[in-house]
Amino acid sequence: MLSACDVDPLPIAVIVIAADGQITTINERARELFGERTVGRLYAAVLRQPDVVERIERALAHERMAPVRYIAVGAGRDVVYDAHIVPIEDESGGVMVSFVDATHKEEAGQMRSDFVANVSHELRTPLTALSGFIETLRGPARDDPEARDRFLDIMEQEAGRMNRLVSDLLSLSRVEDMERMRPTAPQDLRDVLHCAQSSLQRQARARGVTVDLVSENDGGIAVSGDRDQLIQVFTNLIENAIKYGKKAGIVTIRVTRGQAVPGMRAPVICVAVEDQGDGIAPHHIGRLTERFYRVDNHRSREMGGTGLGLAIVKHIVKRHRGRLRIQSEKGKGSCFTVCLPEHS
């Protein structure tokens, strides 16, 4: 028979139940979960959740049982456990039940289903618009060339939105897949920034925004990285600064070297993208890198945003073992800083 000494050091909660249903052994972790005075009591009175009780009953009757969910009601929040029930291979006829914390699994499952719901919702909006316009073009607008052109323009925009959404989703999944593979090739950071800047020239001009690149270092600056992904990071940050910053304002890209960054070993290069927009309220800042999180849904959609840009930025920066810092003050503008390890 298992004794408390055998199971006490285990890092998970374990109880042993005899054939007559009495709890005979309980380890330290299980005591935290079920209380001190548990040995000698009937398991049904301690565990109390019908599914768990039923499975244990059947296991005591020598049936093999799959794990069952046990929910411990906590003060702050519930903790979900997978209860594994295994027969003890001796003449006692008892079973051992171990409780493995399944909160992470549960949360990951919840995140996955939230994500699918979000993607479906984001795709449905332009799809509904497209279906509506097709119907209108077939019906009332059939003989109205002016309306037809207008509707076709909107349809093009909606199709573009779907396209961007699908590309961003693909980028996100690709970046997540590669996250553990750290890129090591040297990349010229100024070249990366020039590339990002010039691809946004038209957008900047349309909003009357000037994009200035300020670097304290005239020579080349090399970081270890993946060129396309770095361009993607800075394109998104500069594009956000143009879109959400001040109309006809200035966006400054500031490159600095040698700053001490918590959690990073020197030498480090930091690129700050600053705008003169309205800024972001503090309670939003921590959530900006969540997928589909937007401060102003309507504005983001109007600007053609998918809400995935900063989530992609976060993953790419993480893959590069870098840091992303967001600073903003209402009414004073925002500053998104990416720090990357310098190539040595």
Ligand X SMILES: Nc1ncnc2c1ncn2[C@@H]1O[C@H](COP(=O)(O)OP(=O)(O)O)[C@@H](O)[C@H]1O
Q: Write out the residues near ligand X by the rule CB under 6 A.
A: 236, 240-241, 244-245, 275, 277, 280, 288, 294-296, 300, 305-310, 334
Task: State the binding partner of 98 from Mg ion, ligand X, none, CB within 5 to 8 A by kind.
Answer: none
Residue with smaller CB distance to ligand X, 23 or 310: 310
Residue with smaller CB distance to ligand X, 252 or 306: 306
| Amino acid (1-letter code) at residue 140 | P
Q: Give, as ranges, the residues between 222 and 281 that touch Mg ion (CB under 5 A).
A: 236, 240
- Is residue 126 a contact residue for Mg ion (CB under 5 A)? no
Give min distance, CB of 308 to Mg ion, in A: 8
- Asked if 250 contacts 210 with a C-beta cutoff of 8 angstroms, the reply is yes
- Is residue 171 a contact residue for Mg ion (CB under 5 A)? no
Residue with smaller CB distance to Mg ion, 310 or 339: 310
Edge to edge, what strands does the sheet with 13-17 contain?
23-26, 13-17, 95-101, 79-87, 68-72
Task: State the binding partner of 232 from Mg ion, ligand X, none, CB within 5 to 8 A by kind.
Answer: none
CB atoms within 10 A of CB 194: 15
Task: State the binding partner of 277 from Mg ion, ligand X, none, CB within 5 to 8 A by kind.
Answer: ligand X
Complete DSSP assignment for 204-270: HHHTT-EEEEEES--S--EEES-HHHHHHHHHHHHHHHHHHS-TT-EEEEEEEES---TT-PSSEEE
Give min distance, CB of 170 to ligand X, in A: 15
- Mapped onto helix, strand or coil, the DSSP state of residue 85 is strand
Strand ranges for the chain from DSSP E: 13-17, 23-26, 68-72, 79-87, 95-101, 186-188, 210-215, 222-224, 250-257, 268-274, 323-329, 333-341
- Is residue 328 a contact residue for Mg ion (CB under 5 A)? no
Give min distance, CB of 316 to Mg ion, in A: 13
- Asked if 148 contacts 137 with a C-beta cutoff of 8 angstroms, the reply is yes
Give min distance, CB of 342 to ligand X, in A: 26
| Amino acid (1-letter code) at residue 195 | C
Q: What are phi and psi of 201, to 5 degrees?
A: -55, -45
- Cα(91)–Cα(300) distance, rounded to whole angstroms? 68
Give min distance, CB of 312 to ligand X, in A: 8
Site string for Mg ion, 290-319 (x = CB under 5 A): -------------------x----------
Nearest one of 146, 324, 139 to 237, comparing CA atoms: 324
Task: State the binding partner of 337 from ligand X, Mg ion, none, CB within 5 to 8 A by kind.
Answer: none
Residue with smaller CB distance to Mg ion, 236 or 252: 236
Q: Which residue has the tokens 């299980």?
A: 30
Residue with smaller CB distance to Mg ion, 59 or 169: 169
Give min distance, CB of 236 to Mg ion, in A: 5
Residue 334: half-sphere exposure toward Cβ, Cα within 13 Å = 22
Residue with smaller CB distance to ligand X, 42 or 281: 281
Give min distance, CB of 212 to ligand X, in A: 15
Residue with smaller CB distance to ligand X, 99 or 244: 244
Residue 322: both structure tokens together:
């870098």
Residues at the contact surface with Mg ion, assessed by CB under 5 A: 236, 240, 309
